[in-house]
Structure 1
Amino acid sequence: MGWVTLFTILVLILTQIFAVPLKSSNNCGYDSCNLGQPGKLNVHIVAHTHDDVGWLKTVDQYYYGSRREISPKAVQYILDSVIEALVDNPDRRYIYVEMAFFWRWWTEQSEKVRNIVKQLVNESRLEFISGGWCMNDEATTHYNSIIDQHSLGAEFLQETFGECARPKIAWQIDPFGHSREVGSLFAQMGFDGMFLGRADYQDQIHRGFEKKLEMIWKASANLDRQSWLFAGILPYGYGSPFTFCYDSQCSDPPIMDDKNLKDYNVPERVLAFIAEAYALSKIYATNHLIMTMGGDFQDKNAHEKFKNLDKLIHYVNLEQNNGSDINVFYSTPSCYLYALNKAGKTWTTKSDDFFPYAMVPASYWTGYYTSRPALKFYERYANNILQVTRQLNGFAQTNSRETIFVLSEALGLAQHHDAVSGTEKQHVANDYAQRLADGIDRVMDVINNAYERLLPKNNRTASTSQQFLCSYLNISACLPIEGQDHFTLTLWNPTIHPVIVYPRVPVTRQYSIRDPRGNLVVAEYFPIPETIQNLPGRMSSAQNQYLFQVSLPALGFNTYYFEAKAQNTKTDERMEHEKVKTTVNEACVLQNEHLRVEFNSFGELKEIANLDKNLVVSFSEQGFYWYASYTGNKTAPVIPSSGAYIFHPLLPEPAPVSLIRRINCTKTSTVQKASIIFNDWVSEEFNLYNGSSSLEVEWIVGPIPIDDNIGKEIIVRYNTNIKSTKKYYTDANGREVLERIRDYRPTWHHIVDEPISSNYYPINSRIWIKDDDRQFTILTDRSEGGGSMWDGSVEIMIHRRILQDDSLGVGEALNETAYGKGLAITGKHILSVDRPSDSAQFHRIIAQQFYMRPLATFSVPNTTTYTNYSNIYRQTWSALSDSMPMNVHLLTFDQLNPKQYLVRVEHYFELNEDEIYSKAVTIDIQTLFQSIGTISDMIELILTANLPVSDLHRLEWMTNDQQSSKVHVSQQYLSNVTTITLNPMQIRTFQITIA
């Protein structure tokens, strides 16, 4: 390869970082595709727009075009213009992705326009790609919400347009790194391929030289060919080729084809395009090339783009008369993929992921794994409420799906790659949170309607008191119950297994508590920590709280009745507090029958021992540190500062948040805890509950001080004596776990250009390190970033407050505030020490319960005594009459109409992960419907629930080692069969009809 050619390829790869008639469209889908001409270099022109459902403006502002001082973008006019331009020329094609916008636009159209659009869809001239409510982030999203948001869009497309609108391609052109699990989910959604706009610059250079920018992604270590997906990295990110952008916001020259004009430029433009096509052919493997023609919010005047593309296609193809072998035409990603499939080529494979992502050296997009931690948790909390609401709606048969849609839609928006990722402007983040709050408010009507049917005994029509949420229980505040003479706490368990939890109820007086059988509950009464009471914005006057153990039935509820005690004197309170043993600044040991946790008198964690297995992990350090944020350098302007996207520490070693710490140890009959205060803005509390084999850590961080004008990125670090040999393990979107090796990439020789952030990975639910005998696991309550900077060490970033933007578009510093101060957050991790061979039961079962927590609702009943209440209302109930296997999870239970339900069940253990739970398991779906009726029909669907599995026919691919991607398709279930088998990591989706 000559140096000129080599230089051309290198420049092209780095640039990526920053008149053949159409086949008659008698059919939609692949049958409508133009596959080009054999023996020519076929260029597929893909016209598109990328419309963020919120980023610099809110989703409403982007749709209508308001706040023009921020950006003039307006999606409603884009869609108006595109439809008109497609009608003008039957050769033109266009793709659209974000259903959040299209659904809104569709509701405003006349019947005439709708019929035109339906014809364009049926002719595959308007093609929906991905079809989710948004283009979801892949690092900070949970698989449950990814499935839901894609199902939301798929349902709209299916009901509106039918099979011709079913997306066959995933179009993830803007997310900042790509998850293997997301690839697996897309394969299970029936997609044939996935196109990426971003990949690490080192990876792209390596792949470009070897013509491996397109591959077969083996996206699951468990599902084999069911998870295989063709994946291609696009040549220009998702923009247009250099000098060929024809949108009104671009400055590139139009095609000026009047030879009488001084600026006639057809020959130059044609030669430039042909040169671009030849340059691409040096790094792509077939005689088919894709050229995206679009960008952010383009095509407000689609005629401008299409008029120039019409000319470009015409004049480039005319050159075939002069011997050119370039053949260019309008196409779509689906047709490009189909052409690749028909090319008869074998493909290289990939089995790891695309994290972390760097666009240029020393600039890793790993900060967004943690950015906006409060929003990241609130999204999880809202999803928890959504799943519980669907279950309650289904079991109580309230037929309230339209009301639930408000929260479903808000969560769909929240999955966007500039939403839960934390990479939006502050006012947009506020809008996402407000939408979630509004959705939660709406579904409370559904929850109340459901409990009105489930709570009264003997199907009475007794009026039940309104249930309400206490959203600030994480800061021990619940204003509606303060001072009440009596109130109830109802806990709904959304999992199909019984669980034990320890609710904490903040109070301003003392109560007796009765369980569902009327027995008095043994509850601990102790002060709410001052670190909680002093949080900015906390308005509660509660200074004490009750803690007690609760055993909840599977897929059901328990109600606990609180009745104020007649006497509530200071003496009574002192006597209650004296039952709690406390030490200050002394060495202490927390111990139950399973664990022993040792701290010294300086508040340092020294040891966690698993007493059942005789395993000990020693700690040389555990605590909180902060990285100073890099703020840019005029001598190296290409390397951005730390910001919403980028994590770029100024120094490789963080500083401790405090050189001293205080420790208080408290022991009761229910819990033993060590409270450690580092300073006035960082504290943590280790909780060891009776009977528990894991250790909970609750932490408070903030307001992060910035008086020194230094941005700070806060981590918690555990340094252990585990010999981890550079390896650590992180989950992908809450499901499968991937091995990470410090300073290493499986796909290419990684040049270490930034030693800290280049070793950060998304932690959606868990991270661990291990040696031959011991495994130390940390579960998280939200998505966070972290890694292992040296053997035996784990660090997790939990909060960020940065004073400078990273110049990647958001245009403002990530400096969150609340109540006039820096934002303070609370959070929780769960720690475990076990043998590697036994740890799966912990990090699978406990992590699932940690994610799908019981939903606590309160009420102030209109009864005067517990006896009166218990005579009228049921205090415990379960939808299940039989227990379900521990390796099965109920992912979705959604009532579609009075007689039909959508049900997803999954096996959430991996192959060979556990001796018992990694085996295939058989369940009877009828068990879920014992309280509703008899199943009369059951059809298995693909993951997005928009096609029967028996009707799915994915494209077949061949790998370089001659392996076929073909999968045996299961047959549609007969109406009288309700027993199914689940294999490890398998999700199965069913539409179920009740007799």
Structure 2
Amino acid sequence: MGLMQNHNTITGTAKSHVTSDFVKILHQSITNGKRMASESMKKWASRDNTSHVPEFHSCLLLNISSCNYSSDSKTFIVTVYNPTAQLLTTFVRIPVQNFFHSVSDFAGNDMVTQMVPIPKQVKTIPGRVSSATMELVFLAENISPLGFQSFHVKRKNPIAKEPSNGPHPSINSLNVQTEFYHLSVDTQGRVHVYYTKGARDLHIKQYYNYYEGFEGSNAVAYQQSSGTHIFRPKQENSREVEKNITYQIYKGDLVEEIHLAINDWISQVIRMYDSKDIIEFDWLIGPIPVNDNVGKEIVSIFASNIQNNGKFYTDSNGREMIKRKLYKRPHYKLSLVEKVAGNYYPVTTKISIEDKRQMLRMSVMNDRSQGGSSLMPGKIELMVVVLIVQRRLLSDDGVGLDEPLNETAFGTGVVIKGKHTLVVGSLAEKDELVLREKVEFTSQPWIFFTPTSRTFHEWSQWFE
């Protein structure tokens, strides 16, 4: 925990070899934790002290849809553990091969499932080695606090073709809709979100831009380069990324998704689950091209018609929310030269804007520490950063590392994958809304996999 909270670990302000050592130590720690959790599950799930207790495996690469225990097994058990102190209902996504699968719950009931293809951009992530081409989706409901539920999964017939409404060569009437939101995508790859709950007229546009990193001699302040410690864009306005828009739509009983590729190095899945009033933006970025000798700092922008009057809120390391105001500091008069960088703040879990007139609040929750701001009315910017790789820049900032922020992996620039969750609600129900945001962020299960040759009936005789 101390290493995970280390300021260099969170922000990535360390030399490459130090970062690699951090990764090694964290991997060793989570592997040891995985081993202890498996031993606990073996004792917990067994109905008696049988000597035939199988292993409970964790997959550390589920974020890139890779798990050999599920994709390479014809029959396996999925155990969903709830580490929280409240009931947990969660959608489960399991990487599998191109086959239909049946899922039975702990009582033997057939579960409603949906098969969704893994995006091509995910399947071709450098270093990913997996036979999984699809994700099996089902809903695990009412898992007891500190409890678990097991699900028996069996491979069935091959899928003849991808269950999609695409792919489509051009964008005309691309849209998906739930009882809470209506989504569409325009010809420039901008995602349009219309909040349909109640009579409120809220329109949000989400898209990607980039800042060009400033390069200087570092001899004096105005020649400071953008680098590992310093965020200093060359211009005040972000630039549009190059675009070659393609997409696919997938609709089913559990989830509706738009798989959107902006270009060769930016893509995302926009996802809405049945009966959930949130939207997930599951993004994939990299390798950031630098063959033009320009360092780039990528931002995800959520632009809305919310009138927040230059005020926004960022979390204090996952705790209380701190009020921010453009070009202001609470305790002294500010003379700001760096108008972009000087209005960016750390965002560990959440950034929000509010409209007192419309009584609306919009929050974007992130899955890693990032920089964020609201530079224009109704707009939220989140610099697409990750724990290790933040941006891709070609000059050292002269602050101490003596190396540019230009990390590579598997012979190319680093590819990063993360998630932003959009939550919208009424200020009249702010307490409930804040609780919903907190539950959405903290209610994450631990999923175990157990390959088996047993039928459901045989498994249920021996195990919970």
TM-score of the alignment, normalized to the shorter chain, above 0.5: yes
Cα–Cα, structure 1 residues 426 and 843, in superposed 2: closer, same or farther, change >3 Å? farther
Query: Is contact 1:766–1:843 with CA below 8 Å preserved after alignment?
Result: no
> Does 1:810 pair with 2:401?
yes
CA distance in 1 between counterparts of 2:431 and 2:67 reads 36
Cα–Cα, structure 1 residues 507 and 635, in superposed 2: closer, same or farther, change >3 Å? closer
Could you say which residue in structure 2 is the equivalent of 1:505? 94
Could you say which residue in structure 2 is the equivalent of 1:632? 216
User: Where do 4+ consecutive residues of structure 1 move more than 4 Å?
Assistant: none
Number of residue equivalences: 453
The one-letter code matched in structure 1 to 2:57 is F
> Does 1:449 pair with 2:39?
yes
The one-letter code matched in structure 2 to 1:851 is T
Counterpart pick for 2:411 among 793, 813, 820:
820
The one-letter code matched in structure 1 to 2:442 is Y
> Does 1:614 pair with 2:203?
no
The one-letter code matched in structure 2 to 1:688 is M
The one-letter code matched in structure 2 to 1:763 is V
> Does 1:699 pair with 2:289?
no
> For residues 496-545 of structure 1, what are the alpha-carbon distances to aligned partners after superposition, in whole Å with 9 as ceiling and x for unaligned?
22222222111124322111111122211132111111211111122122
Offset at residue 823 of structure 1 (A): 0.6
Query: Is contact 2:10–2:369 with CA below 8 Å preserved after alignment?
Result: no
The one-letter code matched in structure 2 to 1:780 is N
Could you say which residue in structure 2 is the equivalent of 1:478? 67
Q: Secondary structure at the match of 1:448?
A: helix
Cα–Cα, structure 1 residues 840 and 821, in superposed 2: closer, same or farther, change >3 Å? farther
Offset at residue 596 of structure 1 (A): 2.6
> For residues 355-388 of structure 1, what are the alpha-carbon distances to aligned partners after superposition, in whole Å with 9 as ceiling and x for unaligned?
xxxxxxxxxxxxxxxxxxxxxxxxxxxxxxxxxx
Q: Secondary structure at the match of 1:517?
A: coil
> For residues 721-751 of structure 1, what are the alpha-carbon distances to aligned partners after superposition, in whole Å with 9 as ceiling and x for unaligned?
1111111111111110011100001100000
Equivalences for 1:283-362 in 2 at 5 Å?
none
Counterpart pick for 1:432 among 7, 10, 22:
22
Offset at residue 659 of structure 1 (A): 4.3
> For residues 640-694 of structure 1, what are the alpha-carbon distances to aligned partners after superposition, in whole Å with 9 as ceiling and x for unaligned?
2111111000111111112453333221111111222110100111111100011
> Does 1:681 pair with 2:265?
yes
Structure 1 unaligned spans of 5+: 1-410, 875-995
> Does 1:845 pair with 2:436?
yes
Cα–Cα, structure 1 residues 812 and 634, in superposed 2: closer, same or farther, change >3 Å? closer
Query: Is contact 2:189–2:207 with CA below 8 Å preserved after alignment?
Result: no
Query: Is contact 2:268–2:284 with CA below 8 Å preserved after alignment?
Result: yes
Could you say which residue in structure 1 is the equivalent of 2:388? none
Equivalences for 1:868-879 in 2 at 5 Å?
868-874=458-464
> For residues 438-484 of structure 1, what are the alpha-carbon distances to aligned partners after superposition, in whole Å with 9 as ceiling and x for unaligned?
11121223112211221012x44353211111111111111233331
Query: Is contact 1:718–1:793 with CA below 8 Å preserved after alignment?
Result: yes
Query: Is contact 2:70–2:94 with CA below 8 Å preserved after alignment?
Result: no
CA distance in 1 between counterparts of 2:434 and 2:189 reads 27
Could you say which residue in structure 1 is the equivalent of 2:152? 561
Could you say which residue in structure 2 is the equivalent of 1:46? none
Q: Percent identity?
A: 29
The one-letter code matched in structure 1 to 2:381 is E
The one-letter code matched in structure 2 to 1:846 is E
CA distance in 2 between counterparts of 1:818 and 1:518 reads 45
CA distance in 2 between counterparts of 1:474 and 1:740 reads 32
CA distance in 2 between counterparts of 1:610 and 1:499 reads 27
Could you say which residue in structure 1 is the equivalent of 2:230? 646
Query: Is contact 2:347–2:369 with CA below 8 Å preserved after alignment?
Result: yes
Q: Secondary structure at the match of 2:406?
A: coil
The one-letter code matched in structure 2 to 1:782 is R
Offset at residue 633 of structure 1 (A): 4.3
Q: Normalising by the residue count of structure 2, what TM-score does the alignment of the two structures yield?
A: 0.92
Q: Secondary structure at the match of 2:34?
A: helix
Could you say which residue in structure 2 is the equivalent of 1:669? 253
Query: Is contact 1:588–1:598 with CA below 8 Å preserved after alignment?
Result: yes
Query: Is contact 2:218–2:225 with CA below 8 Å preserved after alignment?
Result: no
Offset at residue 583 of structure 1 (A): 6.2
Could you say which residue in structure 2 is the equivalent of 1:750? 334
Could you say which residue in structure 2 is the equivalent of 1:520? 110
The one-letter code matched in structure 2 to 1:809 is G
Which structure is richer in relative contact order (CA contacts within 8 A, separation 6 or more)? Answer: 2
> Does 1:541 pair with 2:120?
no
Query: Is contact 1:588–1:601 with CA below 8 Å preserved after alignment?
Result: no
CA distance in 2 between counterparts of 1:496 and 1:527 reads 33
Query: Is contact 2:79–2:149 with CA below 8 Å preserved after alignment?
Result: yes
Could you say which residue in structure 2 is the equivalent of 1:77? none
Counterpart pick for 2:445 among 831, 854, 857:
854
Query: Is contact 2:71–2:132 with CA below 8 Å preserved after alignment?
Result: yes
> Does 1:467 pair with 2:52?
no
Could you say which residue in structure 2 is the equivalent of 1:785? 371
Could you say which residue in structure 2 is the equivalent of 1:836? 427
CA distance in 1 between counterparts of 2:116 and 2:195 reads 27
Cα–Cα, structure 1 residues 791 and 540, in superposed 2: closer, same or farther, change >3 Å? same
Query: Is contact 1:722–1:791 with CA below 8 Å preserved after alignment?
Result: yes
Cα–Cα, structure 1 residues 635 and 466, in superposed 2: closer, same or farther, change >3 Å? closer
Structure 2 unaligned spans of 5+: 386-390
> Does 1:865 pair with 2:450?
no
Q: Secondary structure at the match of 1:548?
A: strand
Could you say which residue in structure 2 is the equivalent of 1:716? 300
Q: Normalising by the residue count of structure 1, what TM-score does the alignment of the two structures yield?
A: 0.44
Could you say which residue in structure 2 is the equivalent of 1:880? none
More strand by share: 2
Counterpart pick for 2:77 among 485, 488, 493:
488
> Does 1:658 pair with 2:227?
no
Offset at residue 840 of structure 1 (A): 4.0
The one-letter code matched in structure 2 to 1:649 is P
Considering only aligned residues, what root-mean-square deviation do their CA atoms show, in Å? 1.9
Offset at residue 609 of structure 1 (A): 1.1
Q: Out of 768-777 and 833-842, give the one that drifted further.
A: 833-842
Q: Secondary structure at the match of 2:432?
A: helix
Equivalences for 1:887-926 in 2 at 5 Å?
none
CA distance in 2 between counterparts of 1:832 and 1:858 reads 31
Could you say which residue in structure 2 is the equivalent of 1:285? none
Query: Is contact 2:77–2:152 with CA below 8 Å preserved after alignment?
Result: yes
| Structure with the greater alpha carbon radius of gyration | 1
Equivalences for 1:129-208 in 2 at 5 Å?
none
> For residues 186-241 of structure 1, what are the alpha-carbon distances to aligned partners after superposition, in whole Å with 9 as ceiling and x for unaligned?
xxxxxxxxxxxxxxxxxxxxxxxxxxxxxxxxxxxxxxxxxxxxxxxxxxxxxxxx
Query: Is contact 2:272–2:280 with CA below 8 Å preserved after alignment?
Result: yes
Cα–Cα, structure 1 residues 596 and 802, in superposed 2: closer, same or farther, change >3 Å? same
More helix by share: 1
Cα–Cα, structure 1 residues 768 and 595, in superposed 2: closer, same or farther, change >3 Å? same
Q: Out of 500-509 and 802-811, give the one that drifted further.
A: 500-509
Offset at residue 639 of structure 1 (A): 4.5
